[in-house]
Structure 1
Amino acid sequence: MKRLLLTIAAVVALLVTSAPQTGQAVSRTTKHFITNLKGSTAPAGLGFNVFDTGVSGVATLPTGVKGLVWLGQKCPTPADATFRATIDKLASNTRVFGYYLSDEPHIADCPGGAAALASRADYIRSRTGGVQKSFIVLSKIADYGAFKPASSHVDLVGLDPYPCSTASPTCPVRKITDKVNAALAAGIPRAAIVPVYQAFGQEGISGGYYRLPTADQMRAMHAEWDRLVPSPVMDYAYGWSHQSSSNPTLVDSRALQKVIAAHNGVVVG
């Protein structure tokens, strides 16, 4: 009995010491994805190793960086000859991590979207043996059940609760908790969830609602995501450069860059 207790104690100690710590990379195998690069390669120095890209951009990715190729549709349509030809062209390319197939689709506007995604995801899987991944992002809890992997057949599902806004100046991480719990209840497996980190605001946009997080608020978001989804296949920072819907962004804050780099396992000056 004494030996058994010692063994249990050793296992517990191992689990505690190996648990992810705030400010460190969640997992050595987690991929770190970023969008809206507009030609910049600077995020590679912050530990981002998956870049948003088009088909033609795969060949020019920085060393050590893979591409998540944008083939996205708001309302997905079934795989057609053009889609299949694109996948056939890239299926053996080791620089391709996967394909971004839809950004925030809504089942109310697109009742056939899940079946259409399934045809696309199935084709990717059949041509790449599952090496290259299919990815979507969902914003509304109402869409979680409709587009869960069992229905859409996609490999990875990004969830994008953005806690920081003019209405929520403290950036309550409960928004992250609620959406992850809702996704799990709707049938999205934890292993398929991709945390989406808010790295943008709208202070530079007239009437903007979202607010760029502070460094401490980003650390709090990381900690909550790490607790809920401790070893994701990929995480996602949105985003690097300005868009009409996002200004300021990560490019504007060296403090946020340092926090995210540390979480990616990289120390920057």
Structure 2
Amino acid sequence: MAAVEPVVGEPAAVADLGEKRALLVADVHAGIEIGLRYERGVELESRAAERRDRLCSLIDETGVDRLVVLGDLAHRVGAPEGEERAELETLVAAVTDRVPMTLIEGNHDAGVAEAFADDIDVIDPRGGVLRGNGGGPHGSGVAVLHGHTRPDPALRSADVVCMGHEHPQVRLEDAVGGSRTERAWLRGPLKPSVFDDDADSGPKDGADPPSDGPELIVFPAFNERSGGTWINVEGGSFLAPFLPEGLDAGDAYLLDGTRLGDFRRI
């Protein structure tokens, strides 16, 4: 059985691939401060160096053989250029000086694969399966996708499916009405009908036995400024075309490992 274990206190996990191990992160959104400047006129001091150093430190501390980004390595939708491209070049160079890098194409990664074709391996947005060499044909094991599309039906036999895109977060309130926002993990059994190509509006009939599908792990965003999906707020809207209907049950966890229980009841 494939194993994916979160790194305590971090929005990252280590996948055991047999002879190899990979560090998985999602939604790095490199260049977010540059994007916010152009998109919204918001001026924020860049944290690019801090995020890069944190990512490289995680690679070093976990002793992995590869970094896998579950989509949205870049922030701006479109081919990277100017300051954003420079930030990406520095980030990719820092990572690949340590380990090979794999990117599952996200909805923000248009042009990234082409721009860095000589530096990173790329997996189609509908997903693939990680193996000892970091990638390969479909089959059982650790499946990866971004989450803005339905997964490839061939991933149905995976032990676990890892995705990003949602940036799950929870709002926690105290006894006196104060509140805070925390990034969170979401884990639960994925309905097999999620993999049906003709399922346009969610799984059919809601009758799939939960145990028949792989475990789904929705990763928190690596970028702390990228916002996200409120998974415990009434009216919160999921982004993936198969969530939340594709989960019969799912538990939320904070980065420190605290289990919050069923995300629908938090």
- Range class of TM-score, shorter chain: 0.3 to 0.5
After TM superposition, the score normalised by the length of structure 1 is 0.36
Q: Which structure would you say has the larger RCO, counting Cα contacts within 8 Å and 6 or more residues apart?
A: 1
Structure with more strand by fraction: 2
- Structure 2-normalised TM-score? 0.36
